[in-house]
Amino acid sequence: MVDFRKNSGIVMAEVKAVLDAVENAQVERFVDKVTTASRVFATGEGRSGYVAKAFAMRLCHLGFDVHVVGEATTPSISPGDLLVAVSGSGETPVTLHIAKAANTAGAQIAVVVCDADTSLARLADAVLVIPGKTKHGKGKPSAQMPGTLFEQCAWLALDSIVLDLMALRGESHDGMRRRHANLE
């Protein structure tokens, strides 16, 4: 029998437990890196990549100069820029390679990971730990497929950060709407 109410309650409780564990000092450092960067580049693989792209889209709506790594129009990264990398494991080979390249180019790096003790986090200038269970088993327990809880919570954490950025920039929904895609 389908029990949507029960299952959605489980998901919501898991998400709340993870988001309640996010450290505000890490959020503040992450926000500082975003707001002081000349340009922001976003990357991630799989569902984490969708989270990174969604965050990049909202940054675009906020008026940031933002690019998604791997797109044909993405320029080269340089000092003064920021790479935002999303990876639950913090060990995703492609994401790690991109972060190393950004580091070599002199860019700052902000990561969203499940655990601060990862190769990706060790490269970062700002680490935002979202302790939702990853496909590798780290993080808070979950009834959901491994990786799902991290991805859900990373998306919601970054959307919450968008609210902070809106307030910091004095941005309104109308202003953001004017920058929203109109060729769709």
Active site members: 151
Residues 137 and 123: beta-carbon distance below 8 Å = no
Q: For every residue of 92-109, which 3-state class applies, written as one string?
A: CHHHHHHHHHHHHCCCEE
Q: How far apart are CA 46 and CA 38, in angstroms?
A: 27
